[in-house]
Structure 1
Amino acid sequence: MRTEDLAELGTDELHAQLIDAVRHLTPQHPVRVLWDRLDEVLKAGGAECLPGPWDFDDPHVRSFLDLSTEHLPPALRDRLGNYASAIRTEYGWWMYAPESAAMDPELHDWPAELLAIVGHARSRGCAYVLFDSDAAPSDDLPVFDEPSGVGTP
C-alpha cells in the first residue's frame, strides 16, 4: 500500500491494514512486540488508556453512554428524575452520572440498578447517560421485561 492511499482510508480500514502488516512480522520483531503490547493495553482498559496525543483530555468535552431504557426497571423509568439530575427527553432521559455515585454508592439513596448503570458509565469514561427507547440493549447490563416505553414524568 502506498502512503498516498492511506489518506483515503477511515480508521477501521487503517486498523485492518495495520493488523495485516504486523501479522507478517515475526513474533520477535520490535514493531510486532510493541503492537501486541499496545493491543493488550487497549483491550484491557479501553480508549481512556491511550497516551497523548490521542488522549483527548479537554475538560470542556464530556462523553455519554447511549443505553436502552430497557436497562431501567419499569417503575424507575417513570421516576428517574426523583433520583438523579435527569432531564426527560422525547424518547427517554438524559442524566448526569456523578462520580460520587460510582465511587461511593452509599452517598446516594438510589436503586441498585441505577447505581450499576452509573458505575458502568463512569468505568467507560462517560459523565452522562442517554436512556433512549430506540437504543439497542447492552449485553453488559440487565434488561427488564417490559417494553422500553419511557413512562410518564
Structure 2
Amino acid sequence: MIRPSKRDFAQLFSRARMILQHPEGCSHETRLRLIDDLARAEGLFHAHDVPWDIDVHIARVDHRAGTNINAALSQRSLMAQLAAYCCDSWSELNDKRDYATRDDEEIVRIYFSEHPSERLSTMCITLAGSDSDAGPPPRVRLYLTISTGHVRPSTGDLLDIWSSLIPEQRPLGVAETGYGWFVLCDPLDDADIKLIPAELVAAITYARDRGCRYLLLDRDADEVGGLEAFDW
C-alpha cells in the first residue's frame, strides 16, 4: 500500500477477516504478507488522523442577509442540509406545491431555481491523506461582497491612491478591481487605524466578524443592514 485509499484499508481488513475465519486455507507466505500490511497500516494510523484522501462537499448560499456555508462528507448529506434550509424558507416562494413529498435534491433544485434573489453554488475539494502526491491542500479564504455605497466617495479616492502604492506604503491591503476594491480584513495596528476612515474600519470589522478574510466593495453589490450608507 504505497498510496493507500479508503478502499485499500477496507480490502486489507477484509483479507484479515477471511484469513482469521479460514486459517487452514492460507499459506505461511500469505500470513506473513498480511502481517506486514497490517503493520504498515498500523503505522499510518499512528502517524495520521486520517491516512486517506477525504472529499469535502461544500455549498455557498448567498441571500439578502449575507452568506451561508455548508459542508459535508457526502453529496447526500450536503443536500439534506440544504433541503432543511429550503424548507424553512419555502414560504418565500410563489409555489404552493408540498415540499414534504419531494426528495432533498428536488427541494433544493426547485427552491433555488424559483427564488428571486438567493443563489446556490457548490464544489467538492479533496483533502489529501498521507503518502499522497497531491501536495498541500488548497488555501480557501472567504470574502464578503457589499456595495461601495458603504464608504464615502472621499474614502474611495483614498483606496485608489493606496492601491497604487507598494504594499509597504499602504495602511492596509487593497487592490482596485475596476468596479470597486478588494480589501484585506486582517487586524490593523493602532497607527494604521488612525489613517483609515471610520466607515471603512466598520465595514472591515463587519466582514471579519462573519468569518471573512477579505472584503469586496463592488458598485453593483447590494447594501447591507448594520452599516452606514453614503450617496455617490
Question: TM-score normalised by the shorter chain: which range applies?
Answer: 0.5 to 0.7
Out of 139, 143, 153, the residue aligned to residue 225 of structure 2 is 139
Whole-Å separation in 2 of the counterparts to 1:131 and 1:8: 30
Whole-Å separation in 2 of the counterparts to 1:113 and 1:138: 13
Whole-Å separation in 2 of the counterparts to 1:117 and 1:8: 31
How far does residue 143 in structure 1 lie from its aligned partner after superposition?
Answer: 0.5
How far does residue 84 in structure 1 lie from its aligned partner after superposition?
Answer: 2.4
With a CA cutoff of 8 Å and minimum separation of 6, indicate the structure with the bigger relative contact order: 1
> Which residue of 1 is the match for residue 208 of structure 2?
122
> Which residue of 1 is the match for residue 25 of structure 2?
none
How far does residue 9 in structure 1 lie from its aligned partner after superposition?
Answer: 4.9
Distance 1:12 1:133, change over 3 A: same
Whole-Å separation in 1 of the counterparts to 2:221 and 2:178: 13
**Where does structure 1 lack aligned partners over 5 or more consecutive residues?**
1-5, 20-57, 147-153
Q: Is the 2:172–2:192 Cα contact (8 Å) retained in structure 1?
A: no
Whole-Å separation in 1 of the counterparts to 2:174 and 2:181: 6
Query: What is the 5 A alignment of 1:10-29?
Result: 11-16=81-86
How far does residue 107 in structure 1 lie from its aligned partner after superposition?
Answer: 4.8
Q: Which letter does structure 1 place at the counterpart of 2:230? A: F
Whole-Å separation in 1 of the counterparts to 2:154 and 2:144: 21
Q: What is the root-mean-square deviation of aligned Cα atoms in Å?
A: 3.0
Point out the structure with max Rg over C-alpha.
Answer: 2
Give the structure with the higher percent strand.
2
Number of residue equivalences: 100
Whole-Å separation in 2 of the counterparts to 1:98 and 1:59: 20
Q: Is the 2:182–2:214 Cα contact (8 Å) retained in structure 1?
A: yes
**What is the TM-score when the length of structure 1 is the normalising length?**
0.55
> Which residue of 1 is the match for residue 185 of structure 2?
97
- The Cα offsets for residues 55-107 of structure 1, whole Å up to 9 and x where unpaired, read as xxx882111010100001011112215342111112111111112x3xx6565
**What is the TM-score when the length of structure 2 is the normalising length?**
0.37
Secondary structure of 1:110's aligned partner? coil
Distance 1:59 1:142, change over 3 A: farther
Distance 1:10 1:89, change over 3 A: farther
Distance 1:18 1:69, change over 3 A: closer
